[in-house]
Structure 1
Amino acid sequence: MHSKLFSAVLAVGSASVVSAVTTCTKDIKVTQPTPVIACDVVDASITIDASVAGGLSLEGPKAITGDLIIKNATQLISISSSTIQSIEGNFELQSLELLSSVNMQALKTLNKLNMVKLPQLSTLTFGTSGVTKASDIVISDTFLNDLSGLNINSVDSLTITNNNKLTAFNSDLVNITSLLSVTSNGNNMEINMTKLTSAAEIQLSNVKSFVVPRLKTITQSLKFDTNPELTTFSAKNVTSITDSVTFINNNKLTNVSFPLLTSIGDMTIQNNTKLLAVEGFPKLSKVAGGIILRGNFETVELPSLSDVEGGCTVFSTTDISAFCGFFDNAHSKKIIKGTESCKSNVKAANEGGSDGDSNTSSGGKGSSGNGTDNAVAALSVNNVLLGVSVVAGMAQLW
């Protein structure tokens, strides 16, 4: 707490006025919309009682080292403060049914922001240049159509889900150390992160575009699951992805391009019905897990493939016998160490069905044509079903 207090004091003013800073050290419970909080630094937490209604105005404190919690105040219409500059704990807004605006015009620094079940919230204002520093952010079930107030450079976790009016997110984020999850927002959601260079886990659903021209490093997974308007994706500077690369149920997707990608954990490309060619991986050489390709492919090219630790399943609704020989040969040379199966004219190729399930085991005899499909080692398609996992994970962030 001492380090938090020191940081809060620095945020309040210069060294010449530190001696004049007043500090409250006990938790504060607010029971009226215009409370008197006679201190510059709240070295504790502030909780707003559920009975507070109308417009809440929090004036006085410049820094809060603990939390600012506002939950279940169903008659609260607005929240404002012209003095609060930093919140070092959690800023939590939850289940505020009538809340329409948040105006924290001095706020620059947050630790964790949790905005959940705010169905009328349409206006969000943070500082003159937005919040520039934050750790974990969840924005879910709001009426927001603009997140320009989140002018952050780096974040551990950012979850944006079920905001039906939100159709665009333009961000100057450079680094995401844990999770970026953008799912089930407004139709044709467009994401532009032109400065993003590194990320851990990326999960996207109901997104029309995801522009990341500078992205180089993905330390965990990249997952596109059920993006009905997505037509193309390019990650021209990404060289490795430690875990999964997944494209499932993207019905308008026609092109995927990773020109510099050399190694991945595993790959699943399935039920992207307009994707007729898998040829955007010219340098992919090492796959630590396995490969699943299921669709209407007419062309599959992985010219640099030299080491697949798991298995490989390639099924198409078309005749792919011309390139099934490549996978048969790779299996015979032990490039593919697990079970290999490549089949043509599989009616249920996109979804699995009676022609075998969508996994291939890490061992066993390879097969093509009418051979039997088995399971890819350590590869689970279920981990990309974002709709349930994101909502469940979001509820446990705090």
Structure 2
Amino acid sequence: MLVKNLLPAFAAIGSAAAQAGVCKGTTVNSQADASQLASCRTIKGNLIVGPQSGAAIDISGPEQITGDFRVEDNGQITTLTSTSLQSVGGQFRLNNVTGLNTVDLGKLTTVQSIYWVAATRLDTLTLGPLTKAETIRISDTFLNTLDGFALKSVGSFKIDNNRRLQKYTSQLTDLSDELVIQANGIDLEVDLSNLNWIANMAIANVTKFSVPSLQVVNGSAKFDSNYFTSFSAPNLTKTETGDISFVGNGFLKNMTFPKLTQIAGGLLIANNTGLDRITFFPKLQKISGAVKLRGNFTEIQFPSLNNVKGAFDVSSTANIRKSCDKLSESAPRSQGGNGDIEGVFSCTADNKQANDDTDGSTSDSGNVDGTDGSTDGENSASGVVLNAALFGLVAVAGLASAL
């Protein structure tokens, strides 16, 4: 009798649990499996779509996945949809899903991270839009837009090898780790109009890059092999710990840094063959690393520069003797200057190989205009010191000077 009376109670408890809509993490191997989740509101754990799932998977019903949402090594799936999913507490991972062409998650706004790699046919994307994520990696997809992303803050954002991606406009205001954009569509235009603070950025193979509001780079800003003709950072005032470098940007003709006063690392400008003048640092006062300039420059000016902790190494294919003479006034006292430059000063003109030298090493021979400031008469084009140590060793030099 007691058992008979308890059965309805247990049934009621089970019903209440079902109504609460909390389900354990699971693996979906078919649409039939996915349909069984329709009554769930929360999936506690990971939701995995198996490699033999079939072509179309609809995960409608669940609103939240507390763990990861993963689809990996699946060549069958073509469409992934949900009319209900709003958040993923872990990683949203699409990896090696070479048949997937459509992701339609129109209510998804929050994830911990995104990792989409080798979704080579993915060309249709609908998100909530996405407003919260800590890290994002999108690589080797067929996407031509990232309109589903409406993030204002993110840690790491890496976009690479998306060959159809031609435009990326973002409302990001700060990025706490790194922004990496490289090897996407050849005409890619990047507009980060609201970005005012970033930790690090590495930009390559971009046709247009806009950061009109950027004020501070905490680490380094590196631009390699881009296609833009001009670059402007009208509000950038400083880098707090790192370098600024422009290497191999063959179409670059002009740059403007009207408010930049301090570079906490080094400055490297090399093999930007269309850039014939370096006159765009009117307020730059201090460089805590080394300076290396290589190119076809006819004129070089740093009117406000009064302290360089490392070496200052310049070489041009053109006649820059007047610039060399002016710059040499700031050379170390041991080289006859006023000591504003603390490392070795070298400046050479008419060096046909100037654009071939794009690494981080600097001359240690102290040449000025092709003549050696020391007594050994070596040509400055051949004298170099250790590589990436260029920027890193400056910290040691700074420490030594402080002791």
TM-score by length of 2: 0.85
Task: Report what 2:361 is aligned to.
Answer: 359
Partner of residue 374 from structure 1, selected from 373, 379, 384: 384
Report deviation, 1:19.
11
| 3-state DSSP of counterpart to 2:212 | coil
Report deviation, 1:41.
1.0
8 Å Cα contact 1:33-1:54 kept in structure 2? no
Q: Which amino acid aligns with 2:28?
A: V
1:229-378 matches, within 5 Å, as 229-241=227-239, 242-264=241-263, 265-331=265-331, 332-352=337-357, 359-360=361-362, 366-370=366-370, 371=372, 372=380, 373-375=383-385, 378=389
Q: Partners of 2:19 and 2:28 in 1: how far apart?
A: 25
Q: Partners of 1:285 and 1:378 in 2: how far apart?
A: 23
Larger radius of gyration: 2
Q: Partners of 2:49 and 2:224 in 1: how far apart?
A: 39
Using a 3 Å threshold, how does the CA distance of structure 1 residues 86 and 254 change in structure 2: closer, same or farther? Answer: same
Task: Report what 2:103 is aligned to.
Answer: 102
Q: Partners of 1:59 and 1:93 in 2: how far apart?
A: 18
Report deviation, 1:33.
2.5
Task: Report what 1:135 is aligned to.
Answer: 134
1:191-225 C-alpha deviation (Å, 9 max, x unpaired): 11111111111111110111111111110111110
Q: Tell me, which stretches of 5 or more residues in structure 2 are unaligned? A: 1-16, 332-336, 373-379, 393-403
Task: Report what 1:224 is aligned to.
Answer: 223
Q: Which amino acid aligns with 2:86?
A: Q
Task: Report what 1:197 is aligned to.
Answer: 196
Q: Partners of 1:365 and 1:297 in 2: how far apart?
A: 21
Report deviation, 1:48.
1.1
Q: Which amino acid aligns with 2:287?
A: V
Report deviation, 1:358.
5.7
1:92-140 C-alpha deviation (Å, 9 max, x unpaired): 001011110000011011110011101111001002xx10111101111
1:269-294 C-alpha deviation (Å, 9 max, x unpaired): 00000100011111111111100100
8 Å Cα contact 1:272-1:295 kept in structure 2? yes
1:338-362 C-alpha deviation (Å, 9 max, x unpaired): 1111000000001129xxx76227x
TM-score by length of 1: 0.86
Task: Report what 1:9 is aligned to.
Answer: none
1:71 matches 2:69: no
How many aligned positions are there?
A: 356
Task: Report what 1:27 is aligned to.
Answer: 25
8 Å Cα contact 1:231-1:253 kept in structure 2? yes
Structure 1 segments, 4+ long, off by >6 Å, are: none
8 Å Cα contact 2:268-2:360 kept in structure 1? no
8 Å Cα contact 2:270-2:357 kept in structure 1? no
What RMSD, in angstroms, separates the aligned Cα atoms of the two structures?
Answer: 2.0
Report deviation, 1:256.
1.1
| 3-state DSSP of counterpart to 2:30 | coil
| 3-state DSSP of counterpart to 1:350 | helix
| 3-state DSSP of counterpart to 1:76 | coil
Q: Which amino acid aligns with 2:70?
A: I
Task: Report what 1:60 is aligned to.
Answer: 61
